[in-house]
Amino acid sequence: MLLDGDEIRAISGPTGFGEADRKAHNLRVGKLAALLEAQGHLVIAALISPYEKARQEVRSLCRNFIEIYVDTPLETCVERDPKGLYERALRNEIREFTGISAPYEAPVDPDIRINTLEVSPQVAAEWIWKYCQKMWDGK
């Protein structure tokens, strides 16, 4: 099951992007992921999770939580942004935008760190798959 942050926002109703709203959104998605996991689903949650404490809280809910830090410089995020949100945030058209006008707390000890300037998407996918296989073989 893929839980996309934007799609969950569309289902759960509009929420803001301030610290409290982001933490609540991440926790809501984490609880849904834990529920689906308990029912036997493999869940991938694709979220912007800017707060370490919120990520750790979600980790505590799930049995098989893997934190993947997609480490990308701000300039590259701006270049790759298909929606133009970074440009709008840089022009102060979007308030509380993670990494621009709102903080991003990089993961302290992620399970997997992917530097997108050094690793292709194919290699990153291989790393993730190998990590999952190793984790599942150990259980």
Q: Catalytic residue positions?
A: 49
Rounded Cα distance between 39 and 47, Å, is 21
Contact 105, 52 (CB under 8 A): yes
Q: Is 133 helix (H, G, I), strand (E, B) or coil?
A: helix
Which long-range CB contacts under 8 A does 93-96 form with residues at least 24 apart? 95/17, 96/16, 96/17, 96/18, 96/19
